[in-house]
């Protein structure tokens, strides 16, 4: 009996982890995180990664247990959430794409202070760059189905924790990419991933808009 419960916890954790990792995209998010924290000290970036992982865990758990209630209370649908998140992603990608190169910006302005960066930990780093509309919709969908037993509940929470730990690891050590490819290579990668972020924003917005458009009366 006990072995069956352990197997249920393990299966639920694997399913939740596999569902969340593609929408969280910790590897691509680490590149966006590195792009938006160019010139930041590694210790400050590490503290930022800790905050982003913690905030992501809180957001996912809140969406899991109270997501449907919150969205229903404010009359917000998942499609509206996608449209709003797409606009924010597009804005963040556009600003990063048009930011001055790291070598030039280091002389023109001072790096962001730790206080300013800590205020950015939730927005935009956690929401919507990490826990975007896709991750929120997955967490809300998981919470919409009643848990059959405590094993499934524990496995779901464990899968969420494992997903945020992967996010933390990718964000915490993203600066090693800069050391491997150099400043010029890191700047080129930043421009590429900034453009991809813009495309993701347009795609997210369009997906929500298309679903809402289909719901309009003919």
Q: Sign of the C-alpha dihedral, residues 87, 122, 196, 29?
A: negative
Q: Which backbone phi and psi does 146 adopt, to 5 degrees?
A: -60, 140
Per-residue pLDDT of 198-214, as tens digits, reads 887 788 789 889 988 98
What average pLDDT does the segment 15-25 reach? 85
Kindly indicate the confidence band of residue 114, based on its pLDDT and cuts at 50, 70 and 90: low
* Rounded-to-integer distance, Cα 112 and Cα 1, Å: 55
Give the whole-number percent of the chain exceeding pLDDT 90. Answer: 19
* Rounded-to-integer distance, Cα 57 and Cα 71, Å: 19
Q: Looking at the predicted structure, is the pLDDT value of residue 150 above 80? A: yes
Contact assessment for residue 197 and residue 32, using Cβ atoms and an 8 Å cutoff: yes
Per-domain boundaries in the chain: 2-214
pLDDT of residue 65: 92
pTM: 0.73
């Amino acid at each position: 009996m006990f072995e069956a419960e352990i197997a249920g916890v393990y299966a639920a954790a694997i399913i939740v982890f596999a569902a969340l990792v593609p929408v969280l995209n910790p590897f691509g998010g680490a590149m966006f995180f590195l792009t938006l924290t160019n010139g930041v000290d590694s210790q400050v970036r590490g503290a930022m990664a800790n905050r982003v992982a913690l905030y992501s865990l809180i957001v996912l758990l809140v969406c899991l247990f109270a997501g449907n209630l919150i969205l229903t209370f404010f009359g917000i649908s998942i499609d509206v959430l996608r449209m709003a998140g797409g606009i924010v992603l597009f804005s963040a990608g556009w600003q990063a794409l048009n930011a001055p190169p790291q070598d030039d910006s280091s002389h023109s302005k001072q790096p962001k202070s730790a206080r300013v960066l800590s205020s950015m930990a939730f927005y935009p780093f956690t929401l919507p760059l990490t826990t975007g509309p896709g991750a929120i919709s997955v967490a809300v969908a998981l919470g919409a189905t009643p848990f059959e037993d405590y094993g499934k509940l524990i496995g779901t929470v464990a899968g969420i924790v494992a997903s945020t730990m992967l996010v933390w690891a990718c964000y915490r050590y993203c600066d090693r990419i800069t050391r491997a490819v150099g400043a010029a290579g890191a700047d080129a990668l930043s421009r590429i991933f900034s453009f991809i972020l813009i495309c993701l924003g347009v795609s997210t917005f369009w997906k929500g808009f298309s679903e809402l458009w289909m719901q309009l009366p003919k």
